[in-house]
Structure 1
Amino acid sequence: MQLALTKSKITLKNENLPYPLEWLDLLITITFNPHRTDIASINNDQLNHILNRVPKENLRLQSLIKSQIFSSNNEEEITLLIKQYHSSLIALLDHTLENQNSSSQKSNLENVYKVLISNIDELLSFIETRFPHHLSPEERVPKTYLSVTQQKLKKKLQKLESINSNSSTSNPAFEIVMTRLYHFLNTPCLRYQVTFRDVFYKKTLVRGLENIDWTKEQKEAYSHLDELLIYLNYNSKAYINLLTNHLAEKINDCDTAREKMDMLLYYYKAFKQLHRKPKVILNPNYHDLETVLGNWFTQEILYLEKKLHLSVVPLQSKKENPVEKQSTAKEKQKVLCMLSTDQMGLIFRASDELRILVAKSMSQVFKTIVPHLSTPYKEDLSYDGMRSKSYVAEERDKQLAIETLERIIKKIKEY
């Protein structure tokens, strides 16, 4: 059913047109265009018909887009189709707002304009949520589209604030996120060009905030908000500093260096196991959150390892007769291993977990074996340091350990 209005009369006609947005396009560019149509001639029955038809058209277009996408195997065609729908809907949104500002019959048509804007925005959100990888994220956002998006997000933020205002304790991370979002929404002239990537990220972030159950008690290592921000690569310097300070406080609450190390490794393991959304980042001009946090954990672990080593060495040192010390050193012969401590640690850890090497604990395995080993670069090895590093080994060390074991397998096959 196509609705066409002119200055003199209104006509209804059925046509099968190849342009999917034909009905919506004519409605906005002609029917409700005060420069081309006598809007005063539209009666209430016709308005009600339009108000009922617009949501149905919305659902029809969503279904049509999905069927067109799934019926095509050509990625280039799909990308072109999505871009055409997206740009056409933005143009219609711009035109609707222009009509709204130009119309002198605002009291009569205000509800129609609201329904049109709402449904077009819903169609845009549908495309952006279902097919984001087919859109060009670095393209500049039109001002009208940005304005509508900002107004919609403001309403959602106000609801989120009202929910969190009932909480007995303030959430510094939530305040950092809200401050940044409000700056994006309220600043008329931002210092950078707003792209679709910025808008998509903010929409995804707000949608994630809405899905959090703020009343649920937190039992995991990281809060639900932290999990969301880590998932979305929220690499804000303010948030990263807040998170590292919070982790440092938790770790420093432990009494001994060994307890601190266990707590640090627990948080690092939990951090590495959290989900990440691919190709998403708040600030593309700064390092990934995972890179910065991973470096922080690595440095903290190395620092505690050295601290543990220094605390153990004085207990082992005692005044000995130089002759006795020399003879003891001669008696204690070590096996030179051409692997690094990190690579040896990985092999010993795997052997313990597979019960190839059986002892009371993993620490006992390292404590028994490591004192009898040396490397080309180090004579005395720390069994506790090697054990700790086996939990945070780099990919390069894993690969070299695997290659070494494969060489051993190959050699055994030759026997």
Structure 2
Amino acid sequence: MPHKYTLEWIDLVITVTLNPKKTDVSEITDTQIEAILSRVTDEKEKLESQLKHQVFGLTKQKQIELLIKQYHSALIVLLDQAFENQNNCPAKNQALKNLNKALISCLDELLSFIEVRFNQYLSLEQRVPVTYLLVSKKELQKKLNKLKETLVEKVNDQQFIDIVLNPLYAFINDLKENPEVSFKELLYQKELLKELELLENPEKEIGVYTALNELLIYLNFNSKAYMDYFTKKLAEKTNSKETITEKMDELLIHYKVFNQLHRKPGIVLNPQYADLKTALGKWFKHELFYLEKKRHLAIMPMDENAVPVTTKDIKKHKILSMLSVDQMALILRSADDLKILIARSMNAIFKTIVPHLSTPHQVDLSYDSMRSKSYSAETRDKEIVIDTLQQMIDKIQEY
């Protein structure tokens, strides 16, 4: 059963009543303008409600997708016409100009409603029509100016405010003649601005992070400036602790909470940059690995037979490993299992290689002891080995 054309009233107003090519708009009275203006908000709310009912009344995904795309396309066409009406409006008729502005704002809000509520049915990689992009930027500009005032009052860090708002200003002020902006990029900017507006207390600490930080992490705000700022603040907190153990505990708490924070899937500020979770996760791992190595070097093992390594020992054909015996055992065992190193047996691999290795605390290592430890690895040793191998991968990629 075909659906009724719910855009009929707003379509008629924009394409006929306020269209200078079809109507002598100078004849429209203030009373008529006021009547149309008073209905615009109600019409927007009614259209949103009707669209939701129509979608929920359908059972097939293809039908829903077709309906959403039809509404989206129709609203963009109407927005183009409304924008043209505004440009051709008599300069002295301020009431008519205000009415056109209200209709443009109404259409922009309806489009935003569809893009947020039903974005899974839209082709978000498609390019945004120039008129719609221009209108959206003007709406964003008005909201952004108000938001900046609010953030200045609530956030006592101008650098942080600039880092958060600069990408929005850069997007709005992009003066390229034919900007290649996708609906996905536009939707991100709109959602970011909307969420920032809804943030009542940006500096309120929820756990170890502020509400503003939690929001930016949730929205995958992978600005390089933000990631530098974020890691600098964490480094300052960590370095304020006295001992290496305290520093590790501080960083581990932040890392644990970071991993538990919610993230909205499928969105990102800068698609060409690394994902925020990936980039910051790597930073956490590298910093923890560094502290782990410092702690390992700072503590002597409780082994009466262990002999500390000296520079003289290293020169005696020994290779000094910064990994522990347990960690080296894991690497050799995995190399045998994957047949990266091939010998008569795993025992032969340990027997051949281990005599040439040493650690910062021990010159002579027992190959038999190391082989035994490869079967009882601790979780922390596994993590350190995995992180070490990842750093090797990163280094190889730089070559």
TM-score, normalized by length of structure 2? 0.74
8 Å CA contact 1:78, 1:134 repeated in 2: yes
Equivalent residue for 2:108?
A: 121
Which of the residues 78, 84, 94 maps onto 1:92?
A: 78
**Range that drifts further, 42-51 or 300-309:** 42-51
8 Å CA contact 1:184, 1:190 repeated in 2: no
Cα distance in 2 between the residues matched to 1:90 and 1:265: 49
8 Å CA contact 1:340, 1:375 repeated in 2: no
Q: Deviations over 1:4-41 (max 9, x none)?
A: xxxxxxxxxxxx99322222212111111111112233
Corresponding letter in the other structure for 1:376: R
- 3-state SS of paired residue (1:117): helix
Cα distance in 2 between the residues matched to 1:201 and 1:247: 27
How many residue pairs are counted as aligned between the two chains? 332
Cα distance in 1 between the residues matched to 2:217 and 2:177: 25
Equivalent residue for 2:144?
A: 157
- Please show how residues 82-231 of structure 1 align to structure 2 within 5 Å: 82-104=68-90, 106-166=93-153, 169-189=156-176, 193-214=180-201, 217-218=204-205, 220-231=207-218
- Please show how residues 331-346 of structure 1 align to structure 2 within 5 Å: none
CA 1:266 to 1:171, structure 2 compared with 1: closer, same or farther past 3 Å?
A: farther
Q: Deviations over 1:263-317 (max 9, x none)?
A: 1111110100110001111111222111111111111222222211111127756
- 3-state SS of paired residue (1:313): coil
CA 1:213 to 1:47, structure 2 compared with 1: closer, same or farther past 3 Å?
A: closer
Equivalent residue for 1:291?
A: 278
CA 1:172 to 1:74, structure 2 compared with 1: closer, same or farther past 3 Å?
A: same
- 3-state SS of paired residue (2:112): helix
CA 1:33 to 1:151, structure 2 compared with 1: closer, same or farther past 3 Å?
A: same
- In the alignment, structure 1 residue 265 sits paired with structure 2 residue 252: yes
Cα distance in 1 between the residues matched to 2:224 and 2:297: 33
CA 1:263 to 1:39, structure 2 compared with 1: closer, same or farther past 3 Å?
A: same
Cα distance in 1 between the residues matched to 2:93 and 2:3: 31
Equivalent residue for 2:391?
A: none
Shift of 1:375: 5.3
Cα distance in 1 between the residues matched to 2:146 and 2:154: 14
Corresponding letter in the other structure for 1:188: L
CA 1:317 to 1:237, structure 2 compared with 1: closer, same or farther past 3 Å?
A: farther
**Range that drifts further, 206-215 or 293-302:** 206-215
Cα distance in 2 between the residues matched to 1:302 and 1:17: 61
Shift of 1:172: 2.7
- In the alignment, structure 1 residue 81 sits paired with structure 2 residue 67: yes
Equivalent residue for 2:397?
A: none
Root-mean-square deviation over aligned CA pairs: 3.3
Equivalent residue for 2:371?
A: 376
Corresponding letter in the other structure for 1:296: W
8 Å CA contact 2:251, 2:288 repeated in 1: yes
Q: Deviations over 1:159-217 (max 9, x none)?
A: 22212333583143321121121111112118961111111001111111112223754
TM-score, normalized by length of structure 1? 0.72
**Range that drifts further, 204-213 or 36-45:** 36-45
8 Å CA contact 2:130, 2:178 repeated in 1: no
Cα distance in 1 between the residues matched to 2:81 and 2:381: 61
Which of the residues 48, 59, 83 maps onto 1:62?
A: 48
Cα distance in 1 between the residues matched to 2:11 and 2:178: 34
- In the alignment, structure 1 residue 26 sits paired with structure 2 residue 12: yes
Identical aligned residues as a percent:
45
Unaligned runs of 5+ in 2: 308-325, 332-367, 387-399
8 Å CA contact 2:202, 2:210 repeated in 1: no
